[in-house]
Chains A and B, each alone.
Chain A
Amino acid sequence: MAEELQQTNVGLDESPEAVLKVDDLRTSFFVGKSEVKAVDGVSFEVPKGKTLGIVGESGSGKSITALSILNLIEKPGEIKGGSIKYKGEELVNAKISRMRKIRGNEISMIFQEPMTSLNPVYTIGDQLSEVIKIHQKFGPKKQKERAIEMLKLVGIPSPEKRMKQYPYELSGGMRQRVMIAIALACKPELLISDEPTTALDVTIQAQILELIKELQEEIGMSVIMITHDLGVVAETCDYVAVMYAGRVVEYADVYTLFENPKHPYTVGLLNSLPRHDIEQDELVPIKGNVPAPHEMPPGCKFAPRCPFASDICKEMPELKKIDDGNDVRCWIYDERWDGEKGVKVYENK
């Protein structure tokens, strides 16, 4: 794994400008009178041409973060505050007409469920041409040409024939390719992939990830790769934000994160992965579950499951940069830490 990591890290020193800056994003859902804070103060940047991974368990708020970027949150959900800046332009509270011009054109999204993400009553050609028609000033003939070109680009055989087919005539992997073709048809600056391979077979997964990476290089776009699979992160990402209960708990470049994770949750995630480079009798799962929204503890949300938790964890720690370059939201690295001093969260075996 280490070799792969180093490869994905090439060019990290350049510190490129950010395409997207998310700052203190808060998105909540209102059920009756109670508020569920699905995303509670998330901040990150996506550098130009790079891939940011957002990792977390189900319910950690990663998909809601992604939908918030395109302002696709639906009632009873609502973006409560914070800022989402796309190339310096504020997207929170942007006009709906402006958002429509961005969606599918400058920022595109692909989803977890290729089986249900295409409209069953329109042909592949209709659905692909539609996005081109909305955003490009092409005539019908040019639209069709571009659509066929896109299907070719994502590796769909006999694209002319596929154009006339309906989604039910295609396999899951093929449908995800069509989704990618739709997302990339207008050559976006940013692609948000919300668990694009979760619902696919392992062999197809690798193909789809490879395809996204190739097209990323070709178009020069940035990618947000949302996943719960650290293997996917290792293969595709340059930077990683680890999310837990609606917050980013650790942010680092992918190499640092895998080599030297700092947050007990990140460590727990890594320990629960099988490794082939060392002898392992059994995997170490993180004990417990993500608490239900109404059972969220005050302070650090991970404290109830954290093996190192101490009294001070009842206060919310800040996301702070520490020596090795990771941004970590954990008291252990703070001078106010009242637990065991010099505790080693991660044993690099």
Chain B
Amino acid sequence: MIRFITQRLIQLIPVLFGVTILVFGILHLTPGDPALIMAGESAPEATVNAIRRRLGLDNPLHIQYFDFLKNVLTLDFGTSIRDNIPVSDHISARFFITFELAVISTAFSIFAGLLVGIVSAVWKYSFWDVSLMVITLFGLSMPNFWLGLMLIQWFSINLGWFAPTGWGNPNQMVLPVIALGTAGAAIIARMTRSSMLDVIGQDYIRTARAKGVKERSVIFKHALKNALIPVVTVAGLQFGYFLSGSVLTESVFAINGLGRLIIDSIFARDFPVVQGTVLVLAVMFVTVNFLVDITYKFLNKRVDLN
């Protein structure tokens, strides 16, 4: 197990390098002179030069990259062009909100998905199975921003049950979590169903029944642990996606998380903030995948280390 973790950690290094190169590239892949874009078309020459010097844009590219890397390693992402506040402060102020949204949404996806998937598999081809699978198809097909708008329309404006915007108290959290988590729940439900059906047909389930194991135990102990193996991967990817993919949901519900920070910074051409935020999200995504790998290995002892 320790060897496995070490190997996976070593494999992370090139990935993280790739991430830094891409994020560094954001600035330089944008057409035109970054300093000029940041300063604005009609800015005086002196301002543009000042920005260029401040960002080190007058140095050769590889020197710029190594400076960038050095700063990143010390968690220094520079300062925002808009308000001169360090990017790391911007990120840390908002990070927890996005993280919270992602965690709760993932928990919702897993809980609802497993519940629906297990019910469908255990009573396969029943009325409940067919109805639930049709519902998941809808859940899967709805874009989350549209679902978010519909939820606000019904539950905030028409019924007045939940707050339409913001984040913090439970009343504000329900709708964004449903909007963000529904598609994930649907995917997990369908995954769980097919995985459970596959496992329930296996010889070792018959063995368990022949041993006199209770049906509840057959499903939750013998079948579920096997069926979870592919589901864990999907749930982990969902979490990573929620961290970075909550851009739309945060915009719809006016939640001040990282997603909105990115959008606002892109519109304001605040490149250091965009760079820092994207980098943090990318690192988070990679880390989550690493954790999923380890969980996978923990559940399925047969995973080949290579």
Interface residues of A (CB under 8 A from B): 70, 72, 96, 100-105, 108-109, 111, 113, 116-122, 130-131, 134-135, 166, 168, 179, 182
Residue B10, interface by CB 8 Å? no
B204: chain A residues at CB < 8 Å are: 116-120
B209: chain A residues at CB < 8 Å are: 72, 103
Q: Nearest Cβ distance between residue B217 and chain A, in whole angstroms? A: 9
9 residue pairs of the A-B complex, CB under 8 angstroms, read: A104-B213, A111-B206, A111-B207, A117-B206, A117-B207, A118-B204, A122-B222, A131-B212, A168-B302
State in angstroms the CA–CA spacing of A182 and B301 once bound together. Answer: 22
B202: chain A residues at CB < 8 Å are: 116
Residues B302 and A118 in contact, CB atoms below 8 Å apart: no
A116: chain B residues at CB < 8 Å are: 202-204
B222: chain A residues at CB < 8 Å are: 119, 122
B210: chain A residues at CB < 8 Å are: 70, 72, 103-104, 108-109, 111
Residue of A nearest to B229 (CB): A121
| A118 and B207 in contact, given A166-B301, A168-B301 (Cβ under 8 angstroms) | yes
Q: Nearest Cβ distance between residue A187 and chain B, in whole angstroms? A: 14
| A121 and B213 in contact, given A111-B206, A116-B204, A168-B301 (Cβ under 8 angstroms) | no
Residue B225, interface by CB 8 Å? yes
Residues B299 and A121 in contact, CB atoms below 8 Å apart: yes
Binary interface encoding of chain B residues 263-306 relative to chain A, with 1 for a CB under 8 A from any of its CBs, else 0: 00000000000000000000000000000000000011110000
Residues B212 and A134 in contact, CB atoms below 8 Å apart: yes
State in angstroms the CA–CA spacing of A72 and B213 once bound together. Answer: 12
State in angstroms the CA–CA spacing of A291 and B225 once bound together. Answer: 41
A100: chain B residues at CB < 8 Å are: 212-214
Residue B97, interface by CB 8 Å? no
16 more CB-based (< 8 A) A-B contacts, given A118-B204, A134-B212, A182-B211: A70-B210, A72-B210, A100-B214, A101-B212, A103-B209, A104-B210, A104-B211, A109-B210, A117-B207, A119-B226, A120-B301, A120-B302, A121-B299, A131-B211, A135-B212, A168-B302
State in angstroms the CA–CA spacing of A105 and B211 once bound together. Answer: 7
State in angstroms the CA–CA spacing of A105 and B225 once bound together. Answer: 25
State in angstroms the CA–CA spacing of A132 and B182 once bound together. Answer: 43
State in angstroms the CA–CA spacing of A325 and B202 once bound together. Answer: 42
State in angstroms the CA–CA spacing of A279 and B202 once bound together. Answer: 45
Residues B213 and A113 in contact, CB atoms below 8 Å apart: no
Residue of B nearest to A70 (CB): B210
State in angstroms the CA–CA spacing of A113 and B202 once bound together. Answer: 11
State in angstroms the CA–CA spacing of A166 and B208 once bound together. Answer: 16
Residue of A nearest to B208 (CB): A119
State in angstroms the CA–CA spacing of A134 and B215 once bound together. Answer: 13
A182: chain B residues at CB < 8 Å are: 207, 211
| A179 and B207 in contact, given A116-B202, A131-B212 (Cβ under 8 angstroms) | yes
Residue of A nearest to B223 (CB): A119
State in angstroms the CA–CA spacing of A346 and B302 once bound together. Answer: 53
Q: Nearest Cβ distance between residue B208 and chain A, in whole angstroms? A: 7
B300: chain A residues at CB < 8 Å are: 120-121
Q: Nearest Cβ distance between residue B33 and chain A, in whole angstroms? A: 58
Q: Nearest Cβ distance between residue A338 and chain B, in whole angstroms? A: 46
What are the 9 closest A-B residue pairs judged by CB atoms, nearest first?
A104-B211, A103-B212, A104-B212, A116-B203, A119-B204, A131-B211, A100-B212, A109-B210, A117-B203
A134: chain B residues at CB < 8 Å are: 211-213
State in angstroms the CA–CA spacing of A109 and B212 once bound together. Answer: 11
Residue of A nearest to B302 (CB): A168
Q: Nearest Cβ distance between residue A231 and chain B, in whole angstroms? A: 25
State in angstroms the CA–CA spacing of A292 and B203 once bound together. Answer: 25
Residue of B nearest to A66 (CB): B210
Q: Nearest Cβ distance between residue A43 and chain B, in whole angstroms? A: 23
Q: Nearest Cβ distance between residue A234 and chain B, in whole angstroms? A: 27
Q: Nearest Cβ distance between residue A329 and chain B, in whole angstroms? A: 30
Residues A105 and B212 in contact, CB atoms below 8 Å apart: yes
State in angstroms the CA–CA spacing of A166 and B300 once bound together. Answer: 10
State in angstroms the CA–CA spacing of A118 and B222 once bound together. Answer: 10
A72: chain B residues at CB < 8 Å are: 206, 209-210
